[in-house]
Structure 1
Amino acid sequence: MHSTEFLENHRKKSTDFTRNRTLTFPCLISFMLNALNGSIQAELVRFFNVIDDNYLSTKSVSTAAFCKARMKLSHQAFVELNDDLVQEFYETATIDKWQGHRLLAVDGSVTQLPISNELLEHFGKARPHAAMPHVRLSQLYDVKNNITLDLQVESHSTGEREMALKHLNKTQTGDLVVYDRGYPAVWFYKYHRLKNVDFCMRIVKSSNVVKAFLESGKYSDVVDFPCIEKSLRRCRKDKISTESLRLRLVRVDLPSGEPEVLVSSLTDLQAYPTALFANLYHQRWGVEEDYKVLKSRLNIENYSSISVEGILQDLHAKLLTKNLAASAMHDAKRKIKKPKKNRLYDYKINFAFAINQLKDNIVRFTMKLADLELYELLISKISKSLSVIRPNRKFVRQDRRNKTNKYPMNYKRMC
């Protein structure tokens, strides 16, 4: 953040951030990482109070000055910072894995945008009669370590499978990626094979291959998936192999008695017994919970701009803030005291509390105002805020698509 090279790579013009301003390039990035949810002016006052370590700073930056400054900044700055954080995390942390695999999940989500002609033209809307623009998100998420490796932001008309294809650039050999039922396609499976990445997906029961599997009464079988119709055309277009694939089908009976079918590249029946797959697919729910953190805890739909670049800045900045909180939680796990044997449930660190404790402290760290002592104190505090893990809880998902704008641009929170 403080290097000249990073500044030159992520400013819009060579003359940007060259004058001696109060809101410098590092200040601007640090300010946007501080989980902005209130009015910009109130957040600016709070930010400089932290910078000056004072109850009320004498420095003054207007909302207009912030808006002008952010127009000089590319959202790719936050993307690169997140890439650096993810790389450093996996190089230094002792991560949790599933059967030796880094367990990743991909899922998409749609979020509501502020009313703006620019946003409506660029991102589109969810339904023809919708009044407000919407954006489609897709993330590649490590369900065991709470880290988002990649976030894709596209127009609402972009397909989730195409967005998921871009995520494969952030995977590595030996990864295992779990998907919901909207993703299966033979051409999509082939791209995983090209990357040496394993997968497990929920598949619809309407195809002939799946129907034959269910009729057989088996709970696991390795079958051939021919490359036909749309997949054949896509493979020819992308100049990849059109040969059939041998993949594994696994039947999982739901509590209701209805079977669901998973397709996977994990064809070794001894290394991956059928009994593992129900829990494997269930762990995909972690990415759904992460969207809840982003939407309900960090309020990513509470935007601070009505421009395309401003929206991208807000989304990638809050994602980076979330990943910083996840990294802090990973450190805090080392300090958790061993629970008493008579406890009924296991406990985990409270994610919302970790994000809360990063507010303002993230400014102190990124602006080099704090030392290791404050970090150790922060980690110790986070490690003491635990929430109970209650297994096998289920709730009916609410349909929030028809709700009105939760965060109107003209009525920002003051705190």
Structure 2
Amino acid sequence: MQIVQKPTNKIHSTEFLENHRKKPTDFTRNRTLTFPRLMSFMLNALNGSIQAELVRFFNVIDDSYLSTKSVSTAAFCKAKMKLSHQAFIELNDDLVQTFYEAATIDEWQGHRLLAVDGSVTQLPISNKLLEYFGKARPHAAMPHVRLSQLYDVKNNITLDLQVESHSTGEREMALKHLNKTQTGDLVVYDRGSPAVWFYKYHMLKNVDFCMRIVKRSNVVKAFLESEKYSDVVDFPCVEKSLRRCRKDKISTESLQLRLVRVDLPSGEPEILVSSLTDIQAYPTTLFANLYHQRWGVEEDFKVLKSRLNIENYSSVSIEGVLQDLHAKLLTKNLAASAINQLKDNVVRLIMKLAELELYELILSKISKNLSAIRPDRKFFRQDRRNKTNKYPMNYKRMC
């Protein structure tokens, strides 16, 4: 498939190897676990023990039930130390670029619809990891890492993954995502993001946004009292935003933004703030569904945690953790891209213009893993922090 061909070619290129090995002498000897094999192994959705996964991997490489090749867990860990996690980030950037050039892209009102969400994941017990990443609670024994992703909710692909210490603010991580956006994008955020200085960075990038906003500010209180469902209002740059704008040397002028009221099933109003101020082009009735689509990024974190098992780390080093996280993110994107490419080739399948054996197998697998989408279906979110059943059963791996 052409979407995955560029990353595949890069993995086998000498230039890519030289850019992402730790030392010039790394991966120069003729060993069983070569650089392309190491990359392929780490992208193979590792979920079991390393030794069992290595045996399975070389059985596939040799197209045999019992490979003659043997690599130990220690040899794998030694090879990993020679690799930079930036290799997986570069490959994901290439995959995303090729995806948007080659695939049939689904949009919302002419915008690429992106969503940002953060999550916290547990790390293995390690003093180095605890010192570098911190922990979720003062009395927690395990280190924790904060993740944030920029996700295309219409096309099921992650454009960017940020991995930071637990103490890093979600807004600062979200700001870094803007480097992977482009003019005309529309980004949807939860209520942790709104701030005038943050809005201004979107204006500088010509990127639109829609965010849930808390009701404490005077601007929002006045809007609620007006009993309107939509209004374009003035947001002054004051206090923390004023200091941040001056520090970053950006405009301190006020902004004209739109507030939209959405009544929840409980009867409580939810307030959204957006740069989509054209009421004719973007009627108020669109916004409830627009914000609801942000749910896709939260579901994607469930896939990463439950199906790809990102908390099953193959290393207790900082670099090893970064490798595992970015490798599994790339694996997820490769799978999403392959499914998208398959969708584009349904006509070829039906018209017998392609070899059917592999496609029939993939279609069979996909058909057994579909989840029904029921519009406007809503459930109260459960707090799972103290539950022994950490992830929903419908997201558990079958084997």
TM-score in terms of structure 1 length:
0.86
Report the CA distance between 1:287 and its aligned residue: 0.4
For the Cα contact (< 8 Å) 2:230–2:260, is it kept in 1? yes
For the Cα contact (< 8 Å) 2:21–2:83, is it kept in 1? yes
For the Cα contact (< 8 Å) 2:302–2:391, is it kept in 1? no
For the Cα contact (< 8 Å) 1:51–1:364, is it kept in 2? no
Instruction: Give the structure 2 partner of residue 286 of structure 1.
Output: 296
Report the CA distance between 1:165 and its aligned residue: 0.4
Report the CA distance between 1:192 and its aligned residue: 0.1
- Describe the shift of the 1:401–1:409 C-alpha distance in structure 2 as closer, same or farther (beyond 3 A): closer
- Return the alpha-carbon distance in structure 2 between the equivalents of residues 360 and 59 of structure 1: 38
- Return the alpha-carbon distance in structure 2 between the equivalents of residues 373 and 255 of structure 1: 48
For the Cα contact (< 8 Å) 1:95–1:145, is it kept in 2? yes
- Return the alpha-carbon distance in structure 2 between the equivalents of residues 372 and 76 of structure 1: 37
Report the CA distance between 1:14 and its aligned residue: 0.5
For the Cα contact (< 8 Å) 1:112–1:301, is it kept in 2? yes
For the Cα contact (< 8 Å) 1:33–1:362, is it kept in 2? no
- Describe the shift of the 1:206–1:230 C-alpha distance in structure 2 as closer, same or farther (beyond 3 A): same
Report the CA distance between 1:175 and its aligned residue: 0.1
- Describe the shift of the 1:362–1:272 C-alpha distance in structure 2 as closer, same or farther (beyond 3 A): closer
Instruction: Give the structure 1 partner of residue 7 of structure 2.
Output: none
Report the CA distance between 1:385 and its aligned residue: 5.0
The alignment status of 1:58 with 2:68, answered yes or no, reads yes
Report the CA distance between 1:395 and its aligned residue: 3.0
For the Cα contact (< 8 Å) 1:37–1:413, is it kept in 2? no
The alignment status of 1:142 with 2:152, answered yes or no, reads yes
For the Cα contact (< 8 Å) 2:306–2:395, is it kept in 1? no
Report the CA distance between 1:410 and its aligned residue: 26
Superposed CA deviations along residues 279-311 of structure 1, whole A, max 9, x for unmatched, are 000000000000011111111111111111111
Report the CA distance between 1:402 and its aligned residue: 3.7
Report the CA distance between 1:17 and its aligned residue: 0.2
Report the CA distance between 1:389 and its aligned residue: 1.9
Instruction: Give the structure 2 partner of residue 212 of structure 1.
Output: 222
For the Cα contact (< 8 Å) 1:112–1:405, is it kept in 2? no
Report the CA distance between 1:245 and its aligned residue: 0.3
- Return the alpha-carbon distance in structure 2 between the equivalents of residues 156 and 402 of structure 1: 19
The alignment status of 1:26 with 2:36, answered yes or no, reads yes
Which structure 1 segments of 5+ residues have no match? 328-353
Superposed CA deviations along residues 43-66 of structure 1, whole A, max 9, x for unmatched, are 000000000000010100000000
Report the CA distance between 1:397 and its aligned residue: 2.6
For the Cα contact (< 8 Å) 2:306–2:396, is it kept in 1? no
From 85, 93, 96, the counterpart of 2:106: 96
- Describe the shift of the 1:412–1:376 C-alpha distance in structure 2 as closer, same or farther (beyond 3 A): closer
- Describe the shift of the 1:312–1:407 C-alpha distance in structure 2 as closer, same or farther (beyond 3 A): farther
Report the CA distance between 1:399 and its aligned residue: 2.5
Report the CA distance between 1:370 and its aligned residue: 15
Superposed CA deviations along residues 345-376 of structure 1, whole A, max 9, x for unmatched, are xxxxxxxxx99999999999999999997467
- Describe the shift of the 1:401–1:360 C-alpha distance in structure 2 as closer, same or farther (beyond 3 A): farther
- Describe the shift of the 1:38–1:25 C-alpha distance in structure 2 as closer, same or farther (beyond 3 A): same
Instruction: Give the structure 2 partner of residue 334 of structure 1.
Output: none
Superposed CA deviations along residues 36-86 of structure 1, whole A, max 9, x for unmatched, are 010000000000000000001010000000000000000111101110100
- Describe the shift of the 1:357–1:284 C-alpha distance in structure 2 as closer, same or farther (beyond 3 A): closer
> Larger deviation: 233-242 or 360-369?
360-369
The alignment status of 1:276 with 2:255, answered yes or no, reads no
For the Cα contact (< 8 Å) 2:133–2:144, is it kept in 1? yes
| 3-state secondary structure, aligned to 1:140 | strand
- Describe the shift of the 1:214–1:319 C-alpha distance in structure 2 as closer, same or farther (beyond 3 A): same
For the Cα contact (< 8 Å) 2:113–2:152, is it kept in 1? yes
- Return the alpha-carbon distance in structure 1 between the equivalents of residues 395 and 127 of structure 2: 20
Instruction: Give the structure 1 partner of residue 310 of structure 2.
Output: 300
Report the CA distance between 1:378 and its aligned residue: 3.0
- Return the alpha-carbon distance in structure 2 between the equivalents of residues 411 and 286 of structure 1: 14
For the Cα contact (< 8 Å) 1:39–1:414, is it kept in 2? no
For the Cα contact (< 8 Å) 1:111–1:137, is it kept in 2? yes
Report the CA distance between 1:398 and its aligned residue: 3.0
Report the CA distance between 1:132 and its aligned residue: 0.5
- Return the alpha-carbon distance in structure 2 between the equivalents of residues 93 and 179 of structure 1: 25
Report the CA distance between 1:134 and its aligned residue: 0.3
> Larger deviation: 275-284 or 393-402?
393-402
Aligned residues: 389
- Describe the shift of the 1:150–1:360 C-alpha distance in structure 2 as closer, same or farther (beyond 3 A): same
Which structure 2 segments of 5+ residues have no match? 1-10
- Return the alpha-carbon distance in structure 2 between the equivalents of residues 407 and 215 of structure 1: 41
For the Cα contact (< 8 Å) 1:301–1:407, is it kept in 2? no
Report the CA distance between 1:404 and its aligned residue: 7.1
- Describe the shift of the 1:127–1:292 C-alpha distance in structure 2 as closer, same or farther (beyond 3 A): same
| 3-state secondary structure, aligned to 1:387 | coil
| 3-state secondary structure, aligned to 1:153 | strand
For the Cα contact (< 8 Å) 1:50–1:360, is it kept in 2? no
Superposed CA deviations along residues 133-162 of structure 1, whole A, max 9, x for unmatched, are 000000000000000000000000000000
Report the CA distance between 1:386 and its aligned residue: 3.4
TM-score in terms of structure 2 length:
0.89
| 3-state secondary structure, aligned to 1:359 | helix
Report the CA distance between 1:405 and its aligned residue: 11
- Return the alpha-carbon distance in structure 2 between the equivalents of residues 240 and 156 of structure 1: 28
| 3-state secondary structure, aligned to 1:192 | helix
Larger RCO (alpha carbons 8 Å, 6+ apart): 1
- Describe the shift of the 1:74–1:246 C-alpha distance in structure 2 as closer, same or farther (beyond 3 A): same
| 3-state secondary structure, aligned to 2:210 | strand
